[in-house]
Amino acid sequence: MDYRTGSIGRVLMIRFDHGEDFHEGLKEIVKKENIKSAWFQILGGLGQAKVVTGPEEPVMPPIPVWRDVDEAREALGSGSVHMDGNEPIIHLHAALGHHGDTLTACVRKNTKIYLILEVMLFELDGMKTSRPWYEKGGFNRLTFS
């Protein structure tokens, strides 16, 4: 375990519209606003996404179980953004509902909005964080400097 203390900086309220790509759009905003570390909440709909529903087995590094989401799903989730060099790395876990069935997953890529997605992003100040590749674990791990 490792931790740091800091404070909330700017707060951004973001609206994504139907057909837009969430991951690419959030990365664009983070770069434009020079945000180095943030926490966010999402509320709305996703019509497409490539997600990970867990590892095949509980080993390190994990072998992810991928699933394509290709229908309109209600979305509620939490995530963070930290940098790997100059690249924002997004980590989002969300519950994705469709007709009463819920899929909980790590939302990774190809994220197209269905109707609307609202995002409340909290910039984190006073901490030096990054998310470099962690070879032993096989993922980008939150790191403090």
Q: Is 90 exposed, middle or buried (0-12, 13-18, 19+ CB in 10 A)?
A: buried
Q: Which pLDDT tens digit goes with each residue over 39-51?
A: 999 999 999 999 9
Q: Give me the number of domains the chain comprises.
A: 1
Residue 108 lies in a domain: yes
Residue 34 domain-assigned (yes or no): yes
Q: What backbone torsions phi and psi does residue 115 show, to the nearest 5 degrees? A: 65, -75
Residue 28 — very low, low, confident or very high, per pLDDT cuts 50/70/90? very high
Predicted confidence (pLDDT) per residue in 102-120, tens digit: 999 999 999 999 999 999 9
Residue 5 lies in a domain: no
Q: What is the CATH number of the domain that holds 58?
A: 3.30.1330.80
Residue 68 sits in which domain range?
A: 15-144
| Residue 10 counted as domain residue | no
